[in-house]
Structure 1
Amino acid sequence: MEPIVRAIFTVLLLLVGVPSTAIAQSAQKPAAVPVRVITAERKPVVRMLDLVGRVEAVQRVEVRARITGYLEEVLFKEGDAIKEGAPLYRIEKGLFEAAVGQAEGALEKSQAAKQLTEVQLQRAQELLQKQVGTEVARDQALAADKSASATLILDQANLQTAKINLGYTDIASPISGKIGKTNITKGNVVSAQSGVLTTIVSLDPTYVEFPVSERELAAAQEEARAIDPTGIKPTVYFSDGKPYKHPGTINFINVTVNRGTDTVLVRATFPNPDGSLIDGQLVRVGLQKSTAEEKIAIPQSALISDQEGVYVFVADQGKATVRRIRTGGPSGTGVIVEQGLTGGEQVIVEGIQSLRPDAAVTTSASEPSPKRS
């Protein structure tokens, strides 16, 4: 069927004046595929461990009610930054003020009773010394005085408890940080069983925790020539690949290895003055393994895998040729090439989907992608 179609197409083109030689060339020579390339260059490359970490606030407080009462007011705006001591909730005070009044009255009564028992004890002792009173009367007065002292101590404690409970009607922030949503609204009865009213997390500084294999951590410490882990400077990268502008400092390495994953939990401290790192956020962590070496690094987008391994397309004399390579781990957003490229090759990074080995290509330079610094 194809020869017939080609013949008809040739006749039509001849009728409009197109030479048959052009038809033959058009049918035999496929159009060149437009691609973008980068030049493989040897540059100082720092080997990095690419890890997954999670942001953890240095301080995290779950605010709870410590008494039972009617919630009169919510005094903060959800999501705001707040200072330590800022008022958050107000619980109705009436019953607790009354409890303080009752405790004060009971204390005054017990104080008066104590004064009376002291006087009675003193009289009983004087009468016994004059041999007018009896030891029984003195002992009864002494017991009454000690009982009054115990009642006085109890009433003082009750008053202190009542005042503490009254203080709990005003719930204030125990730390400075950022406050979340409120789980209880005005008009509800709250108690210790109401659960978390809201959550406050500190912002600056913040932690990032990430697991590192025991072998890789030891190698990083050895190559960094650090006596302590603070010699290793981790870097955080966001989901779009952009690096966080502040480097971190490792401040804790767990004392046990996770037997299921053979990793050690590592924690680093990062400055967070603008709140870019959010508690619970999933990030990537770059951990420097060694000093800079002269290596070739290419973008991940250039890599192609098949049953034989990994290869790239190189533009050579207008054709896409296959180069088998051996990679050596990540470097920023790219990958290190250990074998297969010597430098100077035009590595194809865009338009790969339409390529076949030895396909004709037209090249243009690819715009540099953001680098991890």
Structure 2
Amino acid sequence: MRCKSIAAGVLAASLLFSLSSARAADPAPAAAPAIPVGVAQARMKPVSQALEFVGRVESPERVEIRARVKGMLEAVLFKEGDVVKEGAPLYRIEKPLFQADVENAEGEVGRAKAALDLAKIQRDRAEELLAKNAGTVVARDQAIAAEASSKGQLLTAEAHLKTAKINLGYTDIVSPITGKIGRTAFTRGHIVGPDSGVLATIVSENPMYVTFPVSQRDYLEAQKEEGKVDLTNVEVRIKFSDGTTYPEIGRINFVDVSVSRSTDTVVMRADVPNPKGALIDGQLVRVELKSGTPQEKIVVPQAALVADQGGVYVFVVEDGKAMTRRVKPGGTLGAGIIIEDGLKPGDQVVVDGFEQLRPGASVRATPAAGLASGG
């Protein structure tokens, strides 16, 4: 019996040894590969105080073209949507009737001049006869009055001629300003006149105005130090409805003289260059005012921000690992985001490849092309 127990123990020991050897021979599980990510450095940048408002683009010059005389529209001389120069012909109204009025007025002037010449001769003759006691005072006075009447008739005839020439000139409708012209309300063959309404509208394009209401509180914040009203250094930036920023910088050129009692706002206006015609009359835009001494703040690319139910966070690379940091955004700066809290200068934030990241995951970080500056 004792021999059987010893044999059983030896067999069990052999099996345990075999199992241990087999486990030792199995390869160790491979470590998860590092995830490649693009990073950008959080950097300090000068940031000016900014206030944002809703504004509307306005053309400094807006002219409604109207007919000043009545007649058939003979020609439309422009292409809708084109830029027209000051003095360029726009419409032509038929001329024959107005030309006839001019010729008729010229005839009246001729008759009035002839009547005046005759009146002068008769006055001279009456005065000569009176001097020789061959005429009467009454005849002389009548001759003087006839001459004065002829002078008045000549003035009236000359005024009629001038009016006729002006009306003839109104048959050629020209552009009073340089700007872009809109659609024409009438085409060739229509009868137009002073009661026809607007034929077309012309708006100037460069520069453009942007008007926006500013609350009393924001207006005071936009002032310079020591309460001095100095708006010459305030930059005016325009943002379109799609979020893009207009490249030209505007300057404030007008502040209204009174505050609206219903809204407690004051209307301000900026003069903005528009060399390429990107700003359109009546356009609704966002207006950003930047003033004051710039402050150094942390800026990262917009691509670094991730949002969830808890707020906004970013992935930061630390010792080859991806870690999350909750951050507090504070506005935009170009293509970057200002970070008020949650990051420090020099942090490497992930801007590309974070879709598969989890906190603590191993990463292989390389600078992201075009985003290394953080905005």
Shift of 1:108: 0.7
1:194 match: 196
1:163 match: 165
CA distance, structure 1, for counterparts of residue 264 and residue 115 of structure 2: 70
CA distance, structure 1, for counterparts of residue 38 and residue 262 of structure 2: 44
Change (3 A) 1:328 1:244: closer
Deviates more, 1:328-337 or 1:346-355: 346-355
Deviates more, 1:311-320 or 1:88-97: 311-320
- Written as runs of structure 1 = structure 2, the 5 A alignment for 1:80-159 is 80-159=82-161
Paired residue secondary structure (1:289)? strand
Paired residue secondary structure (2:129)? helix
1:246 match: 248
CA distance, structure 1, for counterparts of residue 189 and residue 179 of structure 2: 26
Deviates more, 1:190-199 or 1:224-233: 224-233
Paired residue secondary structure (1:117)? helix
1:237 match: 239
TM-score, normalised with respect to structure 2:
0.75
Supply the AA of the counterpart residue of 1:323: R
The Cα RMSD (Å) is 3.7
2:80 match: 78
| 2:205 counterpart (192, 203, 206) | 203
Paired residue secondary structure (1:46)? strand
| Number of residues of Structure 1 aligned to a counterpart in Structure 2 | 338
1:9 match: none
| 1:267 counterpart (269, 280, 283) | 269
Paired residue secondary structure (1:244)? coil
Change (3 A) 1:298 1:163: same
Change (3 A) 1:372 1:119: farther
CA distance, structure 2, for counterparts of residue 225 and residue 273 of structure 1: 35
Deviates more, 1:124-133 or 1:142-151: 124-133
Paired residue secondary structure (1:101)? helix
1:53 match: 55
CA distance, structure 1, for counterparts of residue 204 and residue 126 of structure 2: 64
Change (3 A) 1:352 1:265: farther
- What are the Cα deviations for residues 63-106 of structure 1, in whole angstroms up to 9, with x where unaligned? 11000000000011111122111111010001000101111111
CA distance, structure 1, for counterparts of residue 338 and residue 38 of structure 2: 20
Shift of 1:251: 1.4
CA distance, structure 2, for counterparts of residue 265 and residue 298 of structure 1: 35
| 1:257 counterpart (256, 259, 268) | 259
- What are the Cα deviations for residues 232-266 of structure 1, in whole angstroms up to 9, with x where unaligned? 22122333333323222221111112233322222
Shift of 1:278: 1.9
Q: How many percent of aligned residue pairs carry the same amino acid?
A: 50
CA distance, structure 2, for counterparts of residue 82 and residue 221 of structure 1: 40
Change (3 A) 1:155 1:136: same
Supply the AA of the counterpart residue of 1:240: D
Deviates more, 1:338-347 or 1:90-99: 338-347
Shift of 1:280: 1.8
CA distance, structure 2, for counterparts of residue 305 and residue 193 of structure 1: 62
Shift of 1:351: 11
Instruction: List gaps (5 residues or longer) in structure 2.
Output: 1-35
Instruction: List gaps (5 residues or longer) in structure 1.
Output: 1-33
TM-score, normalised with respect to structure 1:
0.76
1:10 match: none
Deviates more, 1:316-325 or 1:51-60: 316-325
1:220 match: 222
Deviates more, 1:154-163 or 1:105-114: 105-114
CA distance, structure 2, for counterparts of residue 118 and residue 237 of structure 1: 76
CA distance, structure 2, for counterparts of residue 233 and residue 304 of structure 1: 31
Structure with larger Rg: 2
CA distance, structure 2, for counterparts of residue 336 and residue 97 of structure 1: 71
Shift of 1:312: 3.5
